[in-house]
Amino acid sequence: MDIKEEDVQGREDLKKEGGGEEFEEIINVKDESIIAEEDSEEGEKEGECMIGHHCGEKMATKNELKEHIYQEHTSLTTDESRGEDIHEGKSEEKIHKCSLCQKVFKLKANLARHIKVHCGGGEKPFKCNLCGYTTSTSSSLKLHIQTHTGEKPRKKYKCDICEYSTAVSSDLKLHIRRHTGEKPFKCDHCEYSSSSNSHLRMHILRHTGEKPYKCNHCEYSTAFSSDLTLHIRTHTGEKPFKCKLCEYSTSTSSSLTLHIRTHTGEKPFKCNVCDYSTAVSSDLTLHIRRHTGEKPYKCNLCVYSSSSSSHLRVHIRTHTGEKPFKCNMCEYSTSARSSLRSHIRTHTGEKPFKCNTCEYSTSVSSALSRHIRIHTGEKPFKCDSCEYSAAVSTDLKRHIRIHTGEKPYQCSICDYKATQNSTLKQHMLKHKKNA
């Protein structure tokens, strides 16, 4: 079947799914003219490859070249000054919006492909040989495979404000909004707004409560297919993402990316207020709240508030007594997943966090961060009341009690109070001696 026959079949399939004439009009995009025949202006055939004249990229098929031109060379298909598709004449709107999920596209061809996802015809022909990942575009598959190999993709999109760079243009747009504070995507049900349309879609599911993705092994259900994929790996034990530099493997590509930074020492996320930098974007968000004092997560049962949602969840378990994280090797249970991971390493002896400067290794990532400060002399935790600074947050907390006079550790036998737990333990020894 040639391309024109496929286009006709695609329109007929979409109409059968209930798309009607509106969807037929969207899909009827005459994008053939921008794609290379053997003597076209956009690309040429060389052996078994299609080559784009504008960048020299080689594609295996005409469809792949078409996809590449739409994604990377929008100026060839779009009138940038008016936001129009060149091959469709004048457009009434500068963007093409999906009526089902509000996602927006510059090109009708991309909208047509997206709508097939809603209509049950969202083909994902590009499959990863190393895990179950599938996608509708070859470029997405190439980026995904690099999460397995550890290969760094070419980061051609660069931020003009800082040193950030990325292989994906949409990621750069999201990053720039961190500098500008822009949050153009707003919830119709509450005051929530976001810099990312995908984050807004996830937020809206909190209002609807919809969880269409269900686990076949247990009662788990979720609003997101990616969460279900990760959850299933807790049953199968699958860890398809492997480090090339050590034996580490993990169930998520993001965890592998973070792990690799323990080898490279890369810390791309930098604070604009002080010299702090980190390998994890969420850690930077938490750090900035130390400067602002913001604690948006509040306990409904007491006055506790926190800068971190995960800290609030762990805190609430002090009220409920819940300890959902259980060790398979002993009777240990805990309210925090990170505590369980650290505990399991006491059984295995694993110390995956290694110092690049000396032979030190540890089972806890935070311990490595503290250790590295011995080499650097960094003291990022600063007192607001005096010039004191510390390498460890707990040292700063103890110091602040000098200013506030707070003594949270109280003797159960007498009225004695202390600013530190270790001081209280020394005091308790006096009672034992007198007993």
19 in helix, strand or coil? coil
Choose the weakest-confidence range: 1-15, 16-30, 250-264, 284-298. Answer: 16-30
Q: Looking at the structure, tell me whether residues 143 and 27 fall in a common domain.
A: no
Task: Report, as an integer, the average pLDDT of 358-378.
Answer: 88
245-259 per-residue burial string, b: 16 or more CB within 10 A, e: under 16: eeebebbbbeebbbb
pLDDT level of residue 55 (50, 70, 90 thresholds): low
- Please write down the long-range contacts of 266-269, taking CB distance under 8 Å and 24 or more positions apart: 268/163, 268/164
Work out how many domains the chain is built from and give that number.
3
Residue 300, domain member (yes or no): no
- Alpha helices, DSSP H, located in 44-193: 62-72, 74-77, 108-118, 138-149, 169-180
- Supply the CATH number for residue 228's domain: 3.30.160.60
Q: Domain span at residue 270? A: 138-286
Residue 44: predicted pLDDT: 42
Nearest CA among 376, 411, 406 for reference residue 391: 376
Residue 66 one-letter amino acid: K
**Distance between CA 74 and CA 162 in Å, rounded?**
25
Look at residue 131 and tell me if it is in a domain. no
**Nearest-angstrom CA–CA distance, 121 and 125:** 12
Q: Does 170 share its domain with 275?
A: yes
CA distance 115 to 101: 10
Confidence of residue 330 (pLDDT cuts 50, 70, 90): very high
Q: Do 320 and 267 have their domain in common?
A: no
Gap between the Cα atoms of 261 and 338, Å rounded: 19
Specify the pLDDT at position 123.
63
C-alpha span between 98 and 316 (Å, rounded): 40
Does one domain contain both 220 and 111? no
Helical axes 62-72 vs 138-149, angle rounded to 10°: 80
What three-state secondary structure class fits 303? coil
Residues 142 and 271 in one domain: yes
Six-digit token pair at 423? Answer: 């001081």
- Rounded Cα distance, 113 and 123, in Å: 9
Does any domain span residue 296? Answer: no
Q: What pLDDT is stored for residue 77 in this prediction?
A: 41
60 and 92 within one domain: yes
Number of DSSP helices (H) and strands (E) in the chain, helices first: 16, 29
259: in domain? yes
Q: Are residues 111 and 200 in the same domain?
A: no
What separation in angstroms does the CA of 178 have from each of 169, 196, 233? 15, 11, 32
Q: How far apart are CA 413 and CA 427, in angstroms?
A: 10
Q: What is the mean pLDDT of the chain?
A: 75
Worst-scoring range by mean pLDDT, 19-23, 152-156, 217-221, 380-384?
A: 19-23
**Structural contact between residues 283 and 269, judged by C-beta atoms closer than 8 angstroms:** yes
With cut-offs at 50, 70 and 90, classify the pLDDT of residue 73.
Answer: low
Write down how long the chain is: 435
